[in-house]
Structure 1
Amino acid sequence: MSASIMKIMATVLLAVAIVNASNVTPLSIKLSLTDTEGEMQVTWFTLDSPSSPCVQFDNKGFNPSDVTGNIITGSTVEFNEKLWSGYTSVATISPLASQQTYYYAVGNKETGVWSELYNFTTSTFPNTNSQVTPFSFVTYGDMGAVVDNSTVRNIVRSLDQFQFVLHVGDIAYADLQDGDEGKYGNQTVWNEFLEEITPISATIPYMTCPGNHDIFDGDNSNYQNTFMMPKGSDDGDWYSFDYNGVHFVGISSETDYSPSSDQITWLTNELQTYRKSNPDGWLIVFAHRPLYCTSTFGWCKSNDKDRMKFIASLEDLFYKYNVNFFIGGHSHEYERMLPVYKSQVYGSNANPQATVYVVIGTGGCQEGLNSGFQPQPVYSSGVRLLETGYAKVSFLDSDHMQWQFIQDQTDTVLDSVVIGRGQW
């Protein structure tokens, strides 16, 4: 064989190796909390199925290519819905120590293809929900894959202020196209959003709940294969987790929420069990759709039958089990309520005697903001804004939580309130 032919063959083999390596390059890396202390889950996307998906981690920095970190083998699920392809790998990093920074990289041990090195810091545990260790998280809904999203940019710049993200549904708006791409979801748009948030999601846990724009042709398996939340349900549509003495419960407004449904049965047991062991702990519930909102958007109108059913299934439970705070999106506005039950004010922000509700559908999606508000009801605090932005939620101590709405274009606080841990 001539030298020239051998050179060509070597070039071809190198090209094939490069292509194969690029097809298992980790993309859209995301951390998420589990329902077990001392764990952190990490997921990542690849075009091809990796032969040996795994994560390296250590409590000090390392070079991923040297493979000197602790190795944990992961598993892989395939995107096999219509028009979608690729694979999500998932691994759970453990055991982890409380309030410790860890470094990690994900990849494929056999091929030697690794992500860059990232790091995260664990929460405070053991967690008894009797004492809050101060922390902050960032929350928003209805974001979408928007070029140079100012909300994402501001959060990245302030990332060291936050311990995790709560994205309350309508993730990427991958269903706005015409034809099959709208019906089944545009994976390119979906992945573009995931790449945009990677500087956030690879550093702090990115917790979610499904919105109506995350379900394609009546199927939310692509959402479930992307965002692997703790398993309150088999598919993770509803779940709970603890962080530094606060209990969070995520539910799905896009799944059956009738009083006899599996979801409401689970939620009733979850709230009852928590309150039995933690009668005075903080309890936060989140979902995509809000119970209370006053914009001119259809869901928020008083004659919307679906919202009335949502309220009928949830509000009495929230009141019975002292749910302190509810976060929703769906309506593209910002709105904060006073403590409210049956459309009447109970207590005050300093001493709530019912659940405080907020709407944070302000992530800046392609659909834009709502057109206006209805006449202001008695339970509205007066703070109603048609602005894009996000909320910073800070637990100051065991009795006080600060809520701030930050407008994203100017990074300015437009609403701020301290809310007490009411008991009723």
Structure 2
Amino acid sequence: MLAVTARSPKIIPFSSKGPFWQVTLTRLKPGSTYHYSVGNVASTFSTPPLGRFRFDFEADVGASNDFDTVTVTQKQIVADRPAFVIVAGDLTYGNDNGLAAVDRHFNDVMVWSRWAAYMPAWGNHEWDEPLDDMRNYKGRFMLPHPQTSPKAPPKGCCGQDWGWFDAGGVRFIAYPEPYSYDSWRDWLTKAAPLMAAAQRDPKINFIVTFGHRPAYSTGYHPGDPLLASEMNTLGDRYSKYVLNLNGHSHDYERFVPIHHVVHITAGGGGADLEPWSRGKDPRDAFRALHLVHLRVDVTARQIRIEAICGPPESHQERSCALNSVLDSYTIRSPVAASSSHVK
């Protein structure tokens, strides 16, 4: 049994009076389940898996008191029983809908976050307007291997802007918000060594990046050319880098591999859908204006991605049965075990 004293976090959220407590656990074994309780409520959590595993992905979520669809999507995630859930930005929309949305969101996701790790990336709605700011999020999370981005917002500064972790045979690397022109250039200088180490590591089969904004998109928010250029460079260099996941545009869109990397937007976690900014890109493999989350199953040989049809929404362009598979794609393990595509 571990006996650890809870302490106040260094950054205190202000969405409610709290209290807020933080516990840091060490010497945990990978691939293990631990029991804990908060008050009289008993729960379990698991450390990062060692072998095959499942994770879910959602973005642009919000809170159930603002979007009825949020509750449905979170129940879908519960049914998937993922090891962890990546939530790639625009978590609560507290800056639009008030601070009550912040607390409501974290209560909404508690149906799975008691036992599955909530792995966030920050989005523009966490920091670019005055009503809500990064203190409400950095005060609730400690990112694994936390990194600092240049010119990050002063509220909640500094650190915890992005991080990375390994699960099974996958290295997951988040990328930050573009707080300045230097943010993604700084990320490239730090992400490249992480990918190089993963490329050399025989225990790592795949490299996956995730963040809020898209490198490629025909959605409401177009792709960012600088981010695309950096990911293209990394995709050409490291054969294990095969997948990038993002939100920001409230739609679902999957591209064919671009510089060896599959880019998927899945910004349908609950917030209202947004129209396409233009027609289909020649590199589009599939796109749909519908709420979705991703269910991703990983083995040593492949990553199987399924876009799960979410609840109906008034702006959708197509219908699908709740919980049906709207789109699916399999990424095979890279054949080449060399250190990179290019020398």
Post-superposition Cα deviations, 1:108-132, rounded to whole Å, max 9, x if no partner, equal xxxxxx251101233445xxxxxxx
User: CA, structure 1 residues 267+97, in 2 after alignment: closer, same or farther (shift >3 Å)?
Assistant: closer
Q: Which residue of 2 aligns with 1:393?
A: 296
- Look up the match of 2:6: 74
Deviation at 1:247, TM superposition (A): 0.8
Which of residues 202, 207, 210 is equivalent to 2:119? 207
Instruction: Work out the CA distance in 2 between the residues paired with 1:279 and 1:338.
Output: 27
1:174-195: per-residue Cα shift (whole Å, max 9, x none)?
1114xxxxxxxx3321001101
Identity, % of aligned pairs?
25
Deviation at 1:407? 0.8
Distance in 2 between residues matched to 1:198 and 1:406, nearest whole Å = 20
After superposition, give the CA deviation of every residue in 1:73-124 in whole Å (9 maximum; x if it has no partner): 2321266677765443221334333443321013xxxxxxx25110123344
Aligned to 1:282: 206
* Residues 32-43 of structure 1: pairs in structure 2 closer than 5 A: none
- Tell me the residue number matched to 1:230: 144
Give the counterpart of 2:182 among 250, 254, 258: 258
Query: Could you say which residue in structure 2 is the equivalent of 1:245?
Result: 169
Residue 84 (structure 2) aligns with? 164
Change beyond 3 A, Cα 1:319–1:146: farther
Which one has more relative contact order, counting CA pairs under 8 Å at least 6 apart? 2
Q: How does 1:119-198 map to 2 (within 5 A)?
A: 119-125=44-50, 133-147=51-65, 148=68, 149-156=71-78, 158-160=79-81, 162-177=82-97, 186-198=98-110
The reply to whether residue 309 of structure 1 matches residue 231 of structure 2 is no
Give the superposition deviation at 1:414.
1.0
SS in 2 for 1:266: helix
Aligned partners of 2:293, 2:13: CA distance in 1, in Å?
32
Q: Distance in 1 between matches of 2:161 and 2:91?
A: 14
Instruction: Give the counterpart of 2:326 among 414, 417, 420.
Output: 414
Provide closer, same or farther for how the CA distance between residues 217 and 331 of structure 1 changes in structure 2, counting only shifts above 3 A.
closer
The equivalent of 1:105 in structure 2 is 37
Aligned mates of 2:86, 2:23 — CA distance in 1: 21
1:87–1:267 Cα change, 3 Å = farther
1:336-380 deviation digits (Å, cap 9, x = unpaired): 111113xxxxxxxxxxxx111100001111xx1122362222211
1:73 match: secondary structure: coil
Deviation at 1:270, TM superposition (A): 1.9
Residue identity opposite 1:102 in structure 2: Y
8 Å CA contact retained: 1:136, 1:163: yes
Q: 5+ unaligned residues in a row in structure 1: which ranges?
A: 1-57, 59-69, 107-113, 126-132, 178-185, 301-306, 342-353
1:375 aligns with 2:308: no
Please state how far the C-alpha of 1:334 moved relative to its aligned partner: 0.3
Shift of 1:312: 3.0
Runs of 5+ in structure 2 lacking a partner? 149-158, 312-321
Structure 2 Cα separation of the partners of residues 247 and 170 of structure 1: 23
| TM-aligned CA distance change 1:319 to 1:87, over 3 Å | farther
**Aligned pair partner of 1:321 in 230, 238, 262:** 238
Mapped contact 1:334–1:387 kept (Cα < 8 A): yes
Deviates more, 1:319-328 or 1:204-213: 319-328
State the partner residue of 1:338: 256
- What TM-score does the superposition give when structure 1 sets the normalisation length? 0.67
CA distance in 2, matches of 1:291, 1:223: 24
Structure whose alpha-carbon radius of gyration is higher: 1
Q: How many residues align?
A: 309
RMSD of equivalent CA atoms: 2.5
| TM-score for both structures, normalised by structure 2 | 0.82
Deviates most, 84-93 or 283-292? 84-93
**Aligned-pair CA distance for 1:214:** 1.0
Write the distance in 1 (CA, Å) between the matches of 2:31 and 2:227.
Answer: 38
| CA 1:327–1:285: 2 relative to 1, 3 Å | same
* Alpha-carbon distance change, 80 to 134 in structure 1, aligned in 2, over 3 angstroms: closer
